[in-house]
Structure formats: structure tokens, C-alpha cells
DNA sequence: CAACCTTGTAAGGACATCTGACCAGATCAA
DNA sequence: TTGATCTGGTCAGATGTCCTTACAAGGTTG
């Protein structure tokens, strides 16, 4: 593969860059998660750990946030119930509904997962520079706010965000 | 949801930001692709259009690049052959092998897809500022080069990259 | 040439997701 | 208040994507 000195500069499609970066990040996450006692948490289960907070969440709402069907959400939840990470608690406000709640084990797994994410990001920040990193994050947040405003109520709860200081 | 003024700043996990941004980008891409005569190209087919160039590529190599098994690659290719986007041409250098080549229609679809990607990125650059954009791209390229060096031979071919000027 | 490696295919299964149909509980309008 | 309608959740069945295992045909090398 000799290069043509006249060739235009190579162009890497944006989505390819994001893809690759995300893949690398996620692979690191999975690697570290495998080392924990929560290694049976599969990538598919992520939607639950990402969105469910202390006060629980209805299946329908979870499906909306995760952009999957109620049926798919139901299956993921069934699986997590079997593994002891979540439970369905009758919603006091609507007898049709159930609140998907993390069990104690589930909350531990969620905290562990978040801690890993924070660690990895901390490493990368160190590696690539805090300022550039902050600039990228700002831009990303702006993009997401503008292009997919309803996509990320994925804010860590205050207690969980507290872990950021530890990392 | 009243906010606790004492609460730590909300933290959005990095992968969530990338996810959301990428989703938005990809959704725009799909929307526009649907408007073209190549609307039957499915997301899964992307691996072929992303990696196959004028001179064709063997299935095994494609599977490597796309990080899927040869069998999966084979299915995707079968499907694209049915639809008339690619063809299998016997490899003159190895009678076991076949070169996966884009047909004329396939090349048109590839060019159309790339043009759409470039348009969208151009719009976003305008929207968010060329300098910030360039900074993000640089950082992303650096990250990808460091964390996933073999992930992106996804350079557009010189001819295709030429479209960047048009967009 | 014999042993081995590589290319691609075949068969079958796992898994995540979807669509359509449905029930029970809630809500709204007359 | 009661019938029509909406909403939360589940059931059943299909699809799409990807995997593992096994293998046949063609190269490669001692």
C-alpha cells in the first residue's frame, strides 16, 4: 500500500470514529466488569442499570428511555429478576403497574459498574489531557442536548455521582 | 423533581454521551438514506459498504475488519448479492477465494451513503463550530489510534474522499 | 507427496429484538 | 354510572443477526 502523494487527505467517517472509540471504551468496561462478582451482568442488562434509580421505574417508562419495546424490556427484566438483581414491586399508585426496583445486590452492581466507568474515564482524561477532554465532553453534551434532547436522563443519581470524587 | 442545591453536578457517563450522539447521527443518516433509491440497504449491510473498495475484498478479510465471523459476513454478502449490490468474483490469485466486489449499483449506493454522511457532518460543523469540531475529531482520532489501532482502515478511498469538497 | 493451513460454506442454535393480540385496571365523556 | 377508550403489562410467534461446530476444496511446505 504505497501512498499517492497527490491523494486527498484520508477521511474517516465520524460515526466510525465514534464507533471505534466507544468500542474501546466499552471493551475496557466489560473487561473490568468480568473481574467482579457481577460478571453475569450482560450488556443487554445495561438498560436497566442505566435508567433505574432508587425509587424504581415502570416497565413502560424504561422501554421508552431505552428505546426498546415493552416486550423486550420485559424479557431483560425477567432475566435480571432470575439473577437476583431486580424485583417487581406493585405500584401503589396504579394496580396494573409494577415498579422495577434494584435489589441490594442490584444496587451494588450498579455502583460497581459506575465506579468502573468513572475509573476508565479518569484514566483517559489523564492520558489525553483534561482540557481537551472537557472540551469534547462539552461539545458532546451540547450535541446531545440539541439533537436528542430526550435521550439522556441518564444522569447518575447524586449519591452515585459522588463516586466521581473517589475515582 | 426539585433539585437539591447541595447536590453534586450531574454526571453523564461518557458512553451514554457517545451513544446518544451517535444515535442521533445515525438516525439522520438512515432518514436521508430512506429518501434515496437505496432504501433497501439495511444497517447490517454497512460493514460491506464501509470496507469494500474498488479492488474488492475477500470475505475473510472483511470479516476481520468488521469483527464478525466469516459466516455472518457470508450471510450479509448473500443478501447484498440478492439485492444486486455486490457480486462474488473468483479471485485470480487463489481458486478457493472470491473477491467481494461492488456492482455499479453498489458503487452508486456507496457514494450516495458517503455523500450523506459528509452532508450531515458539514451541517453539524456549521452548527457547533469548526474549531471545536476539529478539536473533537483530533482527540477522537488520537483515542482511536491509541486504544483501537487496528479498528479503522475505514478511510474512504481517495475518489470517495473527494466528495468531501462537494458537500 | 503427505501433513498442514486457509478460504469459504453448511447446519443448527442462541439471543435480542420485533409485531400482533390480548387482559386487567384506569380514565373520561355523556 | 356506565360504556368507550386509553394505558401498563404479558403471551405467542417471527425475524434478524450473530455464534459454534464441522467440513470440502484449494494452497503451501517439508
Q: Is the CB of A72 under 7 A from strand C?
A: yes
Distance CA A49 to C1' D10 in A: 22
Q: Which residue has the cell 473490568?
A: A32
pLDDT number for residue B33:
94
For the segment A18-29, the average pLDDT, to the nearest whole number, is 93
Q: What is the pLDDT of residues A47-89, one digit of tens each?
A: 999 999 999 999 999 999 999 999 999 999 999 999 999 999 9
| pLDDT tens string A28-48 | 999 999 999 999 999 999 999
Dump pLDDT digits (tens) for B103-115. 999 999 999 999 9
* pLDDT single digits (tens) B51-85: 999 999 999 999 999 999 999 999 999 999 999 99
Q: Are B48 and B90 in contact (CB under 8 A)?
A: no
**Burial label, B71 (beta-carbon count in 10 A; 0-12, 13-18, 19+):** exposed
CA-based nearest residue in chain B for residue A14: B121
- Output the pLDDT for position B90: 95
Cβ of B57 < 7 Å from strand C? no
Amino acid at each position: 500500500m504505497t501512498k499517492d502523494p497527490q491523494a486527498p487527505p484520508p477521511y474517516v467517517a465520524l460515526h466510525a470514529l465514534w464507533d471505534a472509540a466507544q468500542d474501546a471504551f466499552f471493551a475496557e468496561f466489560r473487561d473490568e466488569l468480568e473481574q467482579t462478582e457481577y460478571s453475569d451482568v450482560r450488556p443487554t442488562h445495561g438498560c436497566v442499570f442505566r435508567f433505574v434509580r432508587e425509587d424504581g421505574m415502570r416497565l413502560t417508562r424504561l422501554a421508552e428511555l431505552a428505546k426498546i419495546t415493552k416486550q423486550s424490556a420485559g424479557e431483560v427484566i425477567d432475566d435480571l429478576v432470575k439473577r437476583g438483581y431486580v424485583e417487581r414491586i406493585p405500584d401503589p399508585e396504579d394496580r396494573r403497574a409494577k415498579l422495577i426496583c434494584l435489589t441490594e445486590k442490584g444496587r451494588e452492581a450498579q455502583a460497581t459498574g459506575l465506579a468502573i466507568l468513572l475509573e476508565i474515564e479518569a484514566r483517559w482524561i489523564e492520558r489525553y489531557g483534561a482540557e481537551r477532554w472537557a472540551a469534547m465532553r462539552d461539545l458532546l453534551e451540547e450535541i446531545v442536548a440539541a439533537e436528542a434532547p430526550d435521550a439522556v436522563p441518564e444522569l447518575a443519581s447524586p449519591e452515585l455521582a459522588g463516586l466521581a470524587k473517589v475515582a
